[in-house]
Amino acid sequence: MTIAGQAAPANATPAAPPLPLPAEASPQIRRRALWLGLLTIWAYVACFMQFGLLDYYARPASQRVNNGRQATFFAVHINPYYVFSEDFHLYVVRSKRIMDRGWTDSPLRTTADSRPSYVAPLQAALMMVAVSTDGRPVPYALFMCSVLLVAWSMLYVAALWWLPDGVSPLTAPIAVLVTLLFESVSGLIHPFAEFAQWPVHRGLRLSTMAWSSPLALSLLLATVSLVFRPQRSTGRLIFVVVGLCILATADNWAFLLAAACTGTVVGILGMMWIAGRKRFPRALRCFAGLTGALVISLALHRATSVQIGGNVLTRGGFGPVWQQSPMGLKTGTWLKQQLFEHALVLPAILLLASLYVAFKQTAPRRYEIGLNVAPPTSQRWHLACLFAVPLVSITILVALLTLIGMEEYHSLQFKWRSEFILLFGLIVVACECAKWGLRQVLADRRRSNRWELAAVVLILGALFVYHNVRIRGFVRQTAAREFFLTQDEEGLRDWLRQREPALGRYTLATASHELNYLCAYWSRADLLLPEGFPYHSGLSTPQIEQAMADVLAVYGATPQSWRDFNLYHQVWDQWSWGRSRLLSARHGYMYYLLHRQFLENGYLNIPPEFTQPKRTTAHLADQRLWFDAHAPEVFVTRACRESAERIAQIVERQSAESGKKKSDRPDVVIVDEVSRALGTPDLSGYVREFQHGNLEAWVLASRGTAPPKTN
């Protein structure tokens, strides 16, 4: 091993001059690479049209979790839960209600103090396009492909033009596609799990990863390139302004991370200008442009989210209450966790970077690893910033959010997006290491170019096969079994859409959160069952509890039946619905009322005291036995239990008073297994107009009648 800068021995073989670093590709080569790369990206995007074949691949009704007739993306209970179903009840339903009822902070129900709420208007507009597909496989697959086409193409163009000058154009498509398909290092090592990140857990979630993460990464590439290539910066500055404004009106998490990265670059440019005004004459222009972009986008974000405050903010997982909560984020704990989780990622980055700068040719056909003590080139500083900027930014961002109060789970939102960016940088460095080593070994530019091209074609081909096999397997297995409504729900949908014109403005009661969201999408009715998700309700927590008590009164629930009904296990409702919809409702009921606030006071479990020595089998056995014995208490939150008890007390107080006036009775009452578990409604004065299986719809006789639907 030799060290660069030491004198060579007298008898040493004269060293051949090292191969120069590859110069920037000519504009003609980049244009050719641009179109070939875009065609490749579009081919990958087209693979998602396989989701349009759901009806073709649909399993017989007896083999499905839901026995409906039509495949749909707009069902609440779809597994994996976080993909389409959560987008449906968080975003699609809100957008549908905005189309029907206008912008309001309580789109599910008209209240006396409702105010306009323009939170995430661009996301709502995008979901309005999704609404037009009605969840049908072919139109919705076309919609998804259109979104992915724009987002993925934008990221590829940004990578091709704004990576360091010496990066090969062949690196861009590999880095972009690996990042988009796997999204994180953990996605690389969990390629066979359907609930893992790839390709459906996050890749197709239109509220987050599908397009906002590629845009955030594109913004990072643009801003970092301004540090090293400030010439002709107008286009990039305009792109940053527009991109930040898009994220500010669509995705809070991606916007906060992108804004933090932009702020870090602003700091770098400011220091460069102060340290050497003559050496960096354009730094001030870029500094001013990025500062303006931050000011404009932050003001826009503030203007559209001004109505989110008080209890609404607390239910969203932010606010002073989380500063002292056991489930509030603690910066120190979070940083330690991230260092532990990235214990393998960061050394891999450092190793690849070290090999890239240290591998050198010391003689013709002779190579050694040496310590390169020469100053790094601008290209290598540029690559280093792709890692440093997001790591520094997310650390500062999480620390600031901890000061204002943030629920611990939200740190994962930043973790997922930062891993997306870090994976991209890791793949770029790996590809450049392989390219540089290949050019050194072959010592012939034409031969090395042919080998590089062959390797890229091989990698992209393998990824394409893998991509298609995974999607096809998911569509044929998971989606073909689970992307359906039940036949009861399909019948209720058809009845509501047919009956609604004659009802005019009306109120609808259901005790099931699942049916509540479906009815919100199928109808324009005022829904009596409250939902605590911040975008869906501007009510305070006491108002939600009062509204819930009113719904329980409609169904004749008693305080004890309400207490017995709740199981308080939010996470379990994602998995238990396949066994029983009633069990699922009992698990997650309070979560839908309180959202993240259900964790406000932490868990009920008391820290156990073990007598056996740590790191022993006996100690581990004590732990397992204790958790098994105390499982119900471990997973129960005080906030849920306290809120449910307040609701029970309201029900008890109302039952002691005079009964509800008939004028306050809902126009339509939906009866299902969830409501039957709570009580028996007083349906005198109602006419049953719909029944299918165990699902019924009763309408006030005074609202007119229609022939009952029984099939």
Specify the range with the lowest mean pLDDT, choosing from 29-43, 438-452, 619-633.
Answer: 619-633
Mean pLDDT over each residue of the chain, to the nearest integer = 83
pLDDT tens, 665-698? 999 999 999 999 999 999 999 999 999 999 999 9
Would you say residue 22 has pLDDT above 50?
no
At 209, phi and psi to the nearest 5?
-75, -25
Q: Which two tokens stand for residue 38?
A: 């875009």
Specify the range with the lowest mean pLDDT, choosing from 63-72, 197-206, 458-467, 591-600.
Answer: 197-206
pLDDT at 604: 56
In the chain, % of residues over pLDDT 90: 46
Specify the range with the lowest mean pLDDT, choosing from 305-319, 350-364, 533-547, 583-597.
Answer: 350-364
Does 18 sit behind a cis peptide bond, omega within 30 degrees of 0 on the bond before it? no
> Edge to edge, what strands does the sheet with 526-527 contain?
526-527, 507-509, 668-671, 695-700, 686-692
Q: How many other CB atoms are found less than 10 A from the CB of residue 417?
A: 26
Name residue, tokens 């001030």.
284
pLDDT tens, 504-520? 899 999 999 999 999 99
Would you say residue 163 has pLDDT above 80?
yes
Specify the range with the lowest mean pLDDT, choosing from 147-156, 173-182, 251-260, 593-602.
Answer: 593-602
Radius of gyration of the chain (CA): 29
Would you say residue 18 has pLDDT above 70?
no
With bands split at pLDDT 50, 70 and 90, how would you rate the model's confidence at 39? very high
pLDDT tens, 422-437? 899 989 988 888 887 7
Contact 419, 349 (CB under 8 A): no
**Alpha carbon distances (Å) from 226 to 210, 272, 290, 601:** 26, 12, 10, 46
pLDDT tens, 302-337? 999 888 888 999 999 998 988 888 888 877 776 666
Mean pLDDT of 513-528: 96
Q: Which two tokens stand for residue 397?
A: 């961002």
Q: CA geometry: angle at 210 spanning 206 and 213, to 5°? A: 120
pLDDT at 429: 87
More confident residue, 612 or 130: 130
In the chain, % of residues over pLDDT 70: 82
User: Does the pTM of the predicted model rise above 0.75?
Assistant: yes
CA distance 557 to 685: 19
Would you say residue 231 has pLDDT above 80?
yes
CA distance 104 to 106: 5
pLDDT at 338: 65
Would you say residue 14 has pLDDT above 50?
no
Of 485, 423, 538, 658, whose CA–CA distance to 134 is shortest?
A: 485
pLDDT at 707: 56
Specify the range with the lowest mean pLDDT, choosing from 58-72, 342-356, 610-624.
Answer: 342-356
pLDDT at 442: 76
pLDDT winner (highest mean) among 371-380, 409-418, 552-561: 552-561
Would you say residue 339 has pLDDT above 50?
yes
With bands split at pLDDT 50, 70 and 90, how would you rate the model's confidence at 399? confident
With bands split at pLDDT 50, 70 and 90, how would you rate the model's confidence at 32? confident
More confident residue, 308 or 495: 495
Would you say residue 608 has pLDDT above 70?
no
Name residue, tokens 């005019």.
504
Contacts 24+ apart (CB under 8 A), 446-453: 452/168, 452/170, 453/170
pLDDT at 353: 57
Would you say residue 193 has pLDDT above 90?
no
pLDDT at 196: 56
Would you say residue 590 has pLDDT above 50?
yes
CA distance 255 to 245: 8
- Residue 677, exposed/middle/buried by CB under 10 A (0-12, 13-18, 19+)? middle
Q: Which two tokens stand for residue 399?
A: 């620390």
User: What is the 8-class DSSP label of residue 83?
Assistant: T
Would you say residue 156 has pLDDT above 60?
yes
Specify the range with the lowest mean pLDDT, choosing from 59-63, 397-401, 574-578.
Answer: 574-578
With bands split at pLDDT 50, 70 and 90, how would you rate the model's confidence at 66? confident
pLDDT tens, 204-224? 676 667 899 999 999 999 999
Name residue, tokens 């932050």.
298
Q: How many other CB atoms are found less than 10 A from the CB of residue 374?
A: 9
pLDDT winner (highest mean) among 196-200, 650-654, 705-709: 650-654
